[in-house]
Structure 1
Amino acid sequence: MKADAGRKYRAYPTDVQDQVLTRWGHTARALWNVALEQRVYLWEQRRLTLRSVEQCKFLTAARADLDWIGDLPAQTGQQILRHLDQAYDNFWNPSHPAGFPSRKKRGHRLSVSFPGQAVEVRQLNRKWAEVRLPKLGWLRFRLSRALGGTIRNATVSRGGNGWHVSFGVHTGRKPAAPNGKPACGVDFGVTASAYVSTETAPRLMSPTLTTNEEKRLKVLERRKARQITYAKKHNAGKYGNRLRKTIAQIAKLATRRGNRRRDFTHKLTTGLAKNHGLIGIEDLRVKNMTASAKGTTKVPGKQVRQKAGLNRAILDNTPGERRRQLEYKARMYGSALVAVPPFHTSQTCAACGLVDPESRMGCGRLFACTRCGYEDDADRNASVEIEARARRTGGSDINSTRSIPRVRVQATGRRRMREAPKPAHAT
């Protein structure tokens, strides 16, 4: 019985619990690095594969010899080794995008994991509850929503705005039946966060930070740079209390920005999954889209700073996270998600199917077909084209909101769709 849903709550530890959890978080990070180093060493030196079952024996011996490891609950250490097993399984899985397991730096987010059998939750009232953790006792958290299932694991983590406790729960929820609602295509962009083909206006994400917060973040970043320079010159690179305070303030603003971005993403994806039976999106390669233009020393890149700003704008709209949320929400609400090839969606006419870069001169907001004269917002035209491609991939039995006859141009290559040669212009 595996966890099929997650629940995250704001935790409020006491001062003593805060110190213990902080100490355990650093110990868990160090244990991960040591276990990973042991596996890498055995493979490089002896070609032996080590798994958590064998490493648990070394963990038991280390707990008896080293007090800082013995202070960590045994269940947490075993959970870390299981997570390392899963990281290796994801790396070996050719269909999984994960890379080789990496070591965790000191600035990595502190987290302490427990199996579901080691924790107990009790509700205090309508808004508050407690979870009992091994060697820590009862930890209070804000009960913002019901658990709704059997607890399979628990993780206590610290972010920029405090501690949180997350539960992996088994709800036993089955995929919903098809809802029979209209289809749509969604074009995720930078200027327009999302344009839905069934709507006449784009979905715009509000600025994740206000003007004053942006100024405050800029001041803090400059202060951090000065303090790091001072630490390297006069303190052998060691961080002082003032520098740590500055880093904490930056993390708080970053967390606030991430929460606002996440809130918009959840509202967008939930509305799409609830109100549509088929959702078409572009199969984007975000890693390739946000690659740096820096180049090399011999062949330096061009417009590096402009490309860096574009990369930040693309990542701020989180296209990968939107796709991840649509994948599981589509199953929950009875809709289907179809990822279509993204090639030339912004250059293809949604009315006649002509592929012509001149239809969108200068990558502006207006799309004007050079053959049929069809005009529309460029992002909406792309969303309609995405819907048409999704309907062909997802099946013709899905109801569509548009019934325009189309003349398609066949693709002649993996990355390019070419049109028929244009007739010569009369002189």
Structure 2
Amino acid sequence: MKADMGRKYRAYPTEDQDRILTGWGHTARALWNVALEQRVYLWEQRRYGLRAVEQSKCLTSARHGLDWIGELPAQAGQQILRSLDRAYDNFWNPEHPAGFPVRKKRGHRLSIPFPGQAVEFRKLNRKWAEVRLPKIGWLRFRLSRAIGGTIRNATVSRDGNGWHISFGVHTGRRPDAPNGKPACGVDFGVTASAFVSTETTPRLMPQTLNANEKKRLKALEQRKARQITFAKKHNGGKYSHRLRTTIAHIARLTTRRANRRQDFTHKLTTGLAKSHGLIGIEDLRVKNMTKSAKGSAEAPGKNVRQKAGLNRSILGNTPGERRRQLEYKARMYGSELVAVPPFHTSQTCAACGEVDPESRKGCGRLFACTRCGHEDDADHNASIEIEARARRTGGSDINSTRSIPRVRVPVTGRRRMREAPKPAHTG
């Protein structure tokens, strides 16, 4: 019985619990790094692949000899080793995009994992609940939504806003039957966050930080740079309390920005999955799109700062996260997600199928076909083309990159098909 849904809640530990959880978080990070180094060393020296079962024996010995490891609950240490196993399995899987496991730095988000058997949940009232963790007792958290299943695992983590607890829950929910709703194509861009083919206006992401927050974030980053320079010159690189306070303030603002971005992404993907039976998106290679233009010392790049700004804008719209959410939400709400090849979607006329870069001069907002004279917003035209490709692909292979046949249904005809009433079923 595996977890099929996730639940995340804001936790409110006491001062003693906060101190203990912080120490556990750094111990968990160090244990991950040590276990990773042990595996790398054995592979380089003896070509031997170490797994969590064998490392658990070493962990038991280390708990008796090292107090800082012994303070961490044994269940959490074993969960960390199992997570390292999954990281290696994803790396060896050619169909998974994960890279080789990396070390966790001190600034990495603190997290302590627990198996479901090690935690106990109880509800206090309609708004509050508690979870019992090993060696720490009952941890209070805000019950913002029902758990709705059996807890299979739990993770306590801390970001810029404070502590949170996440549960992996087994709900037993099965994918819904096809909902029979109309299809759509979605073009994820930078200027327009998302343009849906069935809509006439784009979906725009609200500003994740207002003007005052942006100004404060810039001032904090400048202060951090000055304090780091001072630490390197006078403190041997050791961070002062003031520098750590500045870093905490920056983390609070960046976490607020990330939460607002995530809120928009969830609302967008949930609405698309609920109101459409087929969703077409571009099969984007975000990692290739956001490569740095810095180059090397022998061959320095051009327009490096401009490309860096473009990369930030692309990543700020989270195309990879939107696709990940659409994949599981489409199954939940009876929809189907189809990723189509992105080649020339912004240069293809949705009316006649002509591919011509001159139809979109200077990558502007207007698309004007040089063949048939069709004019439309460039992103809306691309979304209609994505929908047409998704209809032909039919979801047979979500990762297909095969060529698309040049068969077109006029734009007006596709709109009539969407707006026409469905024929009655005769039994």
1:39-188 to structure 2, matched below 5 A, reads 39-188=39-188
- Whole-angstrom CA distance in 1 between matches of 2:411 and 2:264: 28
Scaled by the length of structure 2, the TM-score of the pair is: 0.93
Tell me how far 1:104 sits from its aligned partner.
0.7
C-alpha separation in 2, matches of 1:331 and 1:147: 20
Q: Quickly say closer, same or farther: Cα 1:195–1:353, change in 2 above 3 A.
A: same
Matched, 1:383 2:383: yes
On the 8 A contact 1:183/1:401 being kept in 2, the answer is no
List 4+ stretches of structure 1 deviating above 2 A.
Answer: 400-405
C-alpha contact (below 8 Å) 1:340/1:386 kept by paired residues: yes
Which residue of structure 1 lines up, in the alignment, with residue 34 of structure 2? 34
Name the structure 1 match of 2:349. Answer: 349
User: Aligned letter for 2:345?
Assistant: T
Structure 2 partner of 1:190:
190
**In 2, are the aligned partners of 1:129 and 1:143 still within 8 Å (CA)?**
yes
Q: Is the 8 A contact 2:278 2:338 kept in 1?
A: yes
After TM superposition, give the deviation of residue 401 of structure 1 in Å.
11
Structure 1, unaligned runs of 5 or more: 406-427
Deviation per CA, 1:12-32, whole angstroms, max 9, x where unpaired?
A: 000000000000000001111
- Shift, 1:148, TM fit: 0.6
Partner amino acid for 1:371? R
Q: Please state how far the C-alpha of 1:403 moved relative to its aligned partner.
A: 5.4
Question: What is the RMSD of the two structures over their aligned residues, measured on CA atoms?
Answer: 1.4
State the AA in 1 paired with 2:231. Answer: A
Compute the displacement of 1:47 (Å).
1.5
| Cα deviation, residue 301, structure 1 | 1.0
Q: Percent same amino acid at aligned positions?
A: 83
Contact 1:278 1:336 in 2 (8 A): yes
CA contact (8 A) 2:187 2:382 kept: yes
The answer on whether the counterparts of 2:336 and 2:395 sit within 8 Å (CA) in structure 1 is no
Cα separation, 2, equivalents of 1:403 and 1:90: 46
Aligned pair 1:2/2:11, yes or no?
no
- For residues 335-414 of structure 1, the aligned pairs below 5 Å read 335-394=335-394, 404=413
**Number of aligned residues:** 403
In structure 2, C-alpha distance between the alignment counterparts of 1:101 and 1:283, rounded to whole Å: 25
1:413 corresponds in structure 2 to none
Deviations 1:267-295 (A, max 9, x none): 00000000000000000000111111111
Correspondences of 1:200-349 after superposition (within 5 Å): 200-349=200-349
Q: Is contact 2:351-2:410 (8 Å) kept?
A: no
SS in 1 for 2:83: helix
| 1:402 CA displacement | 5.4
Q: Which runs of 5+ in 2 are unaligned?
A: 397-408, 415-427
Q: Which amino acid aligns with 1:265?
A: T
Residues 198 and 401, structure 1, Cα contact 8 Å, conserved in 2: no
Q: 1:401 to 1:137 in 2, by over 3 A?
A: farther
TM-score (norm. length: structure 1): 0.93
Q: Which moved more, 1:291-300 or 1:185-194?
A: 291-300
Q: Which amino acid aligns with 1:254?
A: T
- Confirm or deny: 8 A CA contact 1:338 1:394 kept in the other structure: yes
Q: For 2:27 and 2:319, locate their aligned partners in 1 and report how far apart those are by CA, in whole Å.
A: 34
- Asked if the contact 1:182–1:401 (Cα under 8 Å) also holds between the matched residues in 2, the reply is no
Displacement after TM superposition at 1:404 (Å): 3.3
In structure 2, relative to structure 1, the CA distance for the partners of 1:19 and 1:395 (3 Å cut) is closer
Task: Give the Cα separation in 1 of the matches to 2:166 and 2:384.
Answer: 39
Distance 2:44 2:359 in 1: 56
Distance 1:145 1:227, change over 3 A: same
- Please give the secondary structure, in 2, of the residue aligned with 1:404: helix
* CA distance in structure 2 between the partners assigned to 1:50 and 1:307 by the alignment: 41
